[in-house]
Copies of this chain bind each other. A is one copy, B any other.
Amino acid sequence: MTETFDRRKGIYDCPILSVKNLSGAIYLMRLHSPAIAQSVHPGQFVNLKVNDEFIPLLRKPFSVCRRDQREGWIEVLWKIVGKGTEILAGCRAGELLNVLGPLGHGYTIRPELELAILVGGGLGVAPLPFLCEEILKAGKKVEVFLGAKSEPELALVPEFIEMGVEVFVATEDGSVGNAGLVTEILIERLKRSLPQRVNLFSCGPTGFLNRMIQITESFNLEGQMAIETMMGCGFGICVGCPVRVRDPRPGERLYKLTCIDGPVFDAREVILSD
């Protein structure tokens, strides 16, 4: 990938503009942060300190889900899975949240791209709306594939529809869209006619991403995927977020760091493990 990212990050106390419970345990928060809104790239993330306590001790990383440069806000989408995400869900508009960002290496939108296929597994949808906007702005065609366990776990479908892109949905229990895995409907799509330069942009859990790696290879496409690992810092100082490099050349490092080399990697670049 050639695009270089502006690595200038900052620490900001950002006013919370809104916190919405989208469904079940899924929340969307809008934060006032002109600096981050200005410079963030799709696929980059912010690292939030959810309270001023020692529990949880660390910041919690979240993809930037949408941003508005003019109004100066960013949004993050999350699901309650533990203490940090639970505390976040209890935050209220008007409070301040300490935000470190923008962080990481995001998705690259190539000039020669013709069709971008965005594939989100579960909460992996989080970085895709922002990515979608930027690809559309670049005048490219976008198709979106979203998968979830069940309807309440499926977030942001209306947001994509509003952007005027085609959205294909699969749920494991068939409560909405195709019954089954999103990768299955994706494969069906890929079997049909495709333009020359197709890119797969994906984000989701490890099992899903491993499937995406296979698909990227078997259809011989370019794929970029945003991965998740435990993170100690989010900006390269703890060395706690390694991801295995697939075929390290002699002398090359065995690991890359998710927080600065990623979280977006080429699908052929890394080996994911749980």
Contacts and interface: CB of A to CB of B under 8 A. Distances in A.
Interface in A50-82: 53-55
A52 to B, nearest CB: 11
Q: Which of the four size classes fits the interface of chain A?
A: under 10
A55 B53 CA distance: 8
Contacts of A55: 53-55
A54 B55 CA distance: 8
Contacts of A53: 55
A229 to B, nearest CB: 26
Interface in A193-252: none
A87 to B, nearest CB: 11
A58 to B, nearest CB: 15
A91 to B, nearest CB: 14
Contacts of A54: 55
Nearest to A53: B55
A53 B53 CA distance: 11
3 contacts: A53-B55, A54-B55, A55-B55
Interface of A: 53-55
For the complex of A and B, list the 3 residue pairs with the smallest distance between their C-beta atoms, beginning with the closest.
A55-B55, A53-B55, A54-B55
